[in-house]
């Protein structure tokens, strides 16, 4: 998708949600063991006032299933139900929701307006906290009427998501009921152009009725409302012609792992940024036109035959004033065997036409290269290239989840005159066998040379200090300690404006993973549980200092961003502070519940 700012660059609704909708922000108070419900609200939405009469409680499981696989399988079944509820809310099928609630259902109204503490947000957005709810709730018809009123006020429902956060189930074969805490996130636009977001944390009791899970109780624990008049960004994908749509993953014509990235540069020297996108078959080069549209020109510019590209970087490698291209791919090279996609180099003639110069560039043997970064690491005036060595997922999985050691070696290619490189990895001290997904380069310790960060799957991220002349030393504690992460990408920026670059890491935020790893505590695997939790904790913001990076515990709103692949920092609302946007999502199957 391509988005364009309205009036002036501003946060789109999705970014505002990212800034606020973390599990922590919806946590509310944690109640103790709950008793059986004591009453029901009556009537439609006006019955909300009856919620002040007596508390709505939930009976806890008396013998909890502790096995992580069994418990998570049950959580997945309830998750499928929540996905069904979300799909019906998306199309405002309120009648269809009734079959998923027990006849004796009681629940707090989700659509009640938040009237608590207000927090102004950029570009006129306003967030209001939900005040605590203590009453008995509404019966099934009144609860559905409340939801109907909510979505009827919107011209369009733009988002409907319900996700499992925590789950406990009563032992049984099969389990008869469970208590599941889940997150509700609804968004829509009114006829007047106002954008509204409703976020709720709900503790629900789910009963198995005739083999099917149904919702019996819904206790509202915490939440907030967010509203903003006017869109910060509008979707201009179609109007700008950057709108190629291929077959969905797993469908005929798309059976690849989908590791393809993107690169942006002014390739034809007209002062406008262009976009290059490779995929498994070919490359796409979108040239930015005077009117803000884009024209696909890969064939005429010499970048059509670039199938299988993954990591890539535009930079002036031959020092002639234009942007050249180096393209990575998933390849391999063993004694007597070489295959897959090689590293490839393309020289720009200054007018946006590229000629492949891979042979003369001496990029080395094939390797699985997901990320690249260009910088003058040794200070000789020529750009060098660090290539992140990953692994061959289709041939060999990681040998360890906490610290894998069978990834492909990284490669440091030192730039020479004439778009030629020589391998300087060993001399630089950068050899390792991490599964490196991407890398960042900057003068992090402010000593005049370029340092390096390698961001890894299945292990610890690395901080490599440049000791001068392009020789590196690994700082074991420079990235906030030795916690294993599942990192995909990251960005640098001075977020707290103290003069030091901070680091935002994008990785997998998995409720399933957090629940399963936490359940290991009950099996006597406490150390393993704590080691694995970092793999599912999501994004992290680290504060930069002279001695390295440290976890920023007071960084609110930057953690949960789904299955995050990459991120960018920019002052979207022009208030003088860096904001964050994060690309996320992963499709593993055809059903909505598998996304």
Q: What is the pLDDT of residues 465-523, one digit of tens each?
A: 999 999 999 998 778 666 777 888 999 999 999 999 999 998 887 777 777 777 777 77
Residue pair 278/335 in contact by the 8 Å Cβ criterion:
no
Q: Is the pLDDT of residue 14 over 50?
A: no
Of 129-143, 262-276, 344-358, the least confident: 129-143
Q: What's the burial of 117, exposed, middle or buried (CB within 10 Å: 0-12/13-18/19+)? A: exposed
CA pair distance 152, 325, nearest whole angstrom: 51
Residue pair 138/48 in contact by the 8 Å Cβ criterion:
yes
Percent with pLDDT over 90 in the chain: 53
| pLDDT in the model for residue 431 | 86
Residue 61 main-chain phi, psi, to 5 deg: -60, 140
| pLDDT in the model for residue 387 | 97
| pLDDT in the model for residue 30 | 34
Q: Answer yes or no: pTM beyond 0.95.
A: no
Determine the average pLDDT of the residues in 272-287: 92
Using CA of residue 507, residue 512, residue 514, residue 517, what is the dihedral sign? negative
Determine the average pLDDT of the residues in 202-219: 96
79 membership: H or E segment, kind and range: helix 68-90
Q: Is the pLDDT of residue 367 over 80?
A: yes
| pLDDT in the model for residue 20 | 37
Q: Which position has the token pair 């806890």?
A: 60
Name the pLDDT band for 313 (thresholds 50, 70, 90).
very high
Pick 309 or 273 by higher pLDDT.
Answer: 273
Pick 563 or 299 by higher pLDDT.
Answer: 299
What residues contact 210, with CB distance under 8 A and at least 6 apart? Answer: none
| pLDDT in the model for residue 419 | 96
Q: Is the pLDDT of residue 247 over 90?
A: no
| pLDDT in the model for residue 378 | 96
CA pair distance 47, 339, nearest whole angstrom: 68
Q: What is the 3-state secondary structure (H, E, C) of 184-241?
A: EEEEEECCCCEEEEEEEEEEEEEEEECCEEEEEEEEEEEEEEEEEECCCEEECCCCCC
What residues contact 433, with CB distance under 8 A and at least 6 apart? Answer: 404, 405, 406, 407, 408, 409
Pick 249 or 124 by higher pLDDT.
Answer: 124
CA pair distance 588, 508, nearest whole angstrom: 14
* Neighbour-count burial for 555-576, b at 16+ CB within 10 Å, e otherwise: bebbbbbbbbbbbbbeebbeee
| pLDDT in the model for residue 497 | 93
CA pair distance 151, 409, nearest whole angstrom: 53
CA pair distance 515, 181, nearest whole angstrom: 12
Q: What's the burial of 303, exposed, middle or buried (CB within 10 Å: 0-12/13-18/19+)? A: buried
CA pair distance 2, 350, nearest whole angstrom: 27
CA pair distance 452, 472, nearest whole angstrom: 9
Q: What is the pLDDT of residues 87-115, one digit of tens each?
A: 999 999 999 999 999 999 999 999 988 88
| pLDDT in the model for residue 220 | 93
Query: What DSSP assignment string belongs to 491-533?
Result: EEE-TT-SSS-EEEEEEBB-HHHHHHHHHGGGGT-HHHHHHHH
Q: What is the pLDDT of residues 441-463, one digit of tens each?
A: 999 999 999 999 999 988 889 99
Of 289-298, 304-313, 361-370, 395-404, the least confident: 395-404
Nearest to 110, CA basis, from 50, 198, 22: 198
The DSSP letter of residue 8 is: B
| pLDDT in the model for residue 443 | 97
| pLDDT in the model for residue 382 | 97
Q: What is the pLDDT of residues 537-589, one digit of tens each?
A: 788 889 999 889 988 766 667 776 778 888 999 998 888 899 998 888 776 55
Q: Is the pLDDT of residue 275 over 80?
A: yes
Q: What is the pLDDT of residues 67-78, one digit of tens each?
A: 777 888 899 999
| pLDDT in the model for residue 477 | 78
Of 255-269, 286-300, 487-501, the least confident: 255-269
CA pair distance 497, 146, nearest whole angstrom: 45
Residue pair 187/197 in contact by the 8 Å Cβ criterion:
yes
Mean pLDDT of the chain: 84
Instruction: State which of 160-169, 411-420, 501-510 shows the largest mean pLDDT.
Output: 411-420
Cα distances (Å, whole numbers) of residue 544 to 8, 462, 558: 30, 14, 16
Q: Is the pLDDT of residue 24 over 60?
A: no
Q: What is the 3-state secondary structure (H, E, C) of 26-50?
A: CCCCCCCCCCCCCCCECCCHHHHHH
Residue 156 has a CB neighbour count (10 Å cut-off) of 12
Helices (H) and strands (E) in the chain, counts: 9, 34
Q: Is the pLDDT of residue 328 over 60?
A: yes
Residue pair 352/287 in contact by the 8 Å Cβ criterion:
yes
Q: What is the pLDDT of residues 224-245, one digit of tens each?
A: 999 988 767 778 888 888 887 7
Using CA of residue 390, residue 394, residue 395, residue 400, what is the dihedral sign? positive
Nearest to 351, CA basis, from 300, 411, 390, 310: 300
């Amino acid at each position: 998708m391509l988005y364009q700012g309205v009036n002036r660059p501003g946060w789109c609704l999705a970014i505002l949600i990212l800034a606020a909708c973390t599990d922590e922000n919806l946590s509310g108070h944690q109640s103790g063991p709950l008793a059986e419900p004591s009453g029901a609200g009556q009537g439609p939405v006006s019955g909300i006032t009856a919620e002040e009469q007596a508390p709505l409680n939930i009976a806890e499981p008396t013998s909890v299933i502790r096995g992580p696989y069994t418990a998570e399988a049950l959580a997945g079944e309830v998750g499928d139900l929540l996905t069904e509820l979300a799909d019906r809310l998306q199309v405002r099928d309120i009648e269809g929701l009734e079959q998923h609630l027990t006849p004796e259902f009681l629940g707090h109204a989700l659509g009640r307006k938040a009237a608590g503490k207000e927090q102004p947000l950029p570009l006129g957005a306003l967030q209001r906290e939900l005040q605590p709810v203590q009453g008995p709730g509404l019966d099934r018809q009144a609860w559905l009427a409340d939801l109907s009123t909510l979505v009827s006020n919107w011209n369009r429902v733009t988002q409907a998501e319900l996700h499992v956060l925590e789950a406990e189930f009563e032992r049984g074969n099969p389990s008869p009921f469970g208590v599941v805490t889940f997150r509700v996130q609804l968004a829509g636009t009114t006829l007047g152009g106002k954008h509204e977001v409703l976020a709720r944390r709900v503790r629900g009791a789910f009963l198995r009725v005739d083999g099917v899970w149904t919702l019996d109780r819904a206790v509202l624990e915490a939440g907030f409302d967010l509203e903003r008049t006017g869109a910060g960004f509008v979707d201009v994908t179609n109007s700008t012609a950057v709108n190629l749509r291929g077959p969905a993953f797993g469908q005929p014509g798309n059976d690849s792992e989908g590791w393809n990235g993107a690169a942006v540069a002014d390739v034809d020297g007209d002062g406008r940024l262009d976009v290059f996108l490779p995929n498994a078959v070919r490359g796409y080069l979108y040239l930015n036109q005077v009117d803000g549209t884009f024209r696909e020109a890969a064939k005429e510019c010499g970048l059509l035959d670039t199938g299988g590209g993954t990591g890539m970087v535009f930079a002036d490698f031959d020092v002639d004033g234009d942007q050249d291209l180096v393209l990575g791919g998933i390849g391999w090279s063993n004694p007597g065997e070489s295959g897959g996609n090689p590293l490839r180099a393309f020289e720009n003639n200054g007018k946006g036409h590229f000629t492949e110069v891979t042979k003369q560039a001496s990029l080395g043997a094939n390797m699985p290269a997901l990320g690249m970064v260009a910088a003058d690491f040794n200070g000789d005036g020529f750009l060098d290239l660090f290539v992140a060595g990953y692994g061959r997922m289709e041939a060999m999985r990681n040998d360890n989840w906490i610290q894998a050691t069978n990834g492909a070696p990284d490669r440091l290619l030192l730039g020479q005159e004439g778009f030629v490189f020589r391998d300087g990895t060993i001399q630089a001290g950068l050899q390792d066998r991490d599964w490196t997904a991407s890398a960042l380069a900057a003068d992090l310790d402010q000593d005049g040379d370029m340092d390096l960060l390698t961001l890894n799957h299945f292990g610890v991220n690395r901080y490599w200090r440049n000791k001068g002349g392009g020789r590196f030393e690994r700082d074991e504690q420079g990235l906030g300690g030795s916690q294993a992460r599942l990192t995909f990408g990251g960005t640098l920026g001075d977020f707290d404006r103290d003069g030091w670059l901070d680091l935002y890491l994008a990785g997998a935020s998995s409720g399933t993973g957090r629940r399963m790893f936490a359940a290991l505590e009950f099996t006597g695997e406490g150390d393993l549980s704590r080691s694995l939790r970092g793999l599912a904790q999501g994004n992290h913001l680290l504060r930069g200092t002279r001695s390295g990076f440290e976890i920023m515990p007071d960084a609110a709103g930057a953690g949960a961003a789904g299955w995050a692949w990459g991120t960018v920092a920019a002052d979207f609302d022009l208030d003088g502070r860096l904001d964050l946007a994060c690309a996320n999502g992963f499709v593993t199957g055809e059903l909505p519940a598998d996304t």
